[in-house]
Amino acid sequence: MIAPSLLSANFANLEKEIQMLNNSEADWLHLDIMDGVFVPNISFGIPIVSAVKKLTNKPLDIHLMIVKPENYFEAFVQAGADYISFHLEGSNHVHRSVQILKKLGVKAGIVLNPHTPISLLEDTIKDLDYVLLMSVNPGYGGQKFIEHTYKKIEQLKNLIKKSSSKALIQVDGGVNIHNAPKLYQAGADILVAGNAVFTDQNPTLAISKIRNSK
């Protein structure tokens, strides 16, 4: 599957961009929420998520790069989130946060930064709907893919199998048409792609190419 990231879209014409995504093979729409504290950049917030929800029937995948993400879960669910992921590095009560997301009726995901080991998921993996592996340091679109990610996908795949978890593996950052086949082969279920989609002359085709590149 593929989840195009809106971070690289043209915000001056968001409606047109969403229409393009609606008519594409995009499986989920990935929305990056940055607060300028957890990551050194600010993106957009709840009103934009609500506006996007009105324009699409595709599932909204909210990637929270904010401090105290649990304070905002309900607001993002009300704004139309279907999937919500938050960073392990930014949460002191991960188990509780996952339970809150489930109670709110959305799919729950945990995000790992490039430096965070897979082993830290051992006690939560069974409760998760997906794990998002960052393949760049979070904060910006258009960065270079970190090769070590392949090894982490492999480790995560083994942990999922060992624990009979149903979690999907999502990979985010520096994904493009060249590394997508190898990522799917390594075990990724859903790839996030921003730059590779929105800088392409034909974004719809780029989505299709990445998605079907297995």
Binding footprint of ligand DX5 on the chain (CB under 6 A): 5, 7-8, 30, 32, 63, 136, 138-139, 141-143, 172-175, 192-196
State which residue, 121 or 196, has the beta carbon closest to ligand DX5.
196
Closest to ligand DX5 by CB, 103 or 205: 205
Catalytic site includes residue 82: no
**Catalytic residue status for 32:** yes
Residue type, 65: M
Continuous segment of H or E residues that includes residue 61: strand 60-65
Cβ pair 154, 147 in contact under 8 A: no
In one letter, which amino acid is 139?
G
β-strand partners of 132 = 111, 170
DSSP state of 75: H
Q: How far is CA 135 from the centre of its chain?
A: 11
Which one of ligand DX5, Zn ion, none is in contact with 90 (Cβ closer than 5 to 8 A by kind)? none
**58, 63, 107, 152: residue in contact with Zn ion (rule CB under 5 A):** 63
Under the binding rule (CB under 5 A), the answer on residue 172 touching Zn ion is yes
13: three-class secondary structure by DSSP: helix
Task: By CB under 5 A, name the binding residues for Zn ion.
Answer: 32, 63, 172
Tell me which residues are annotated as active site: 32, 172
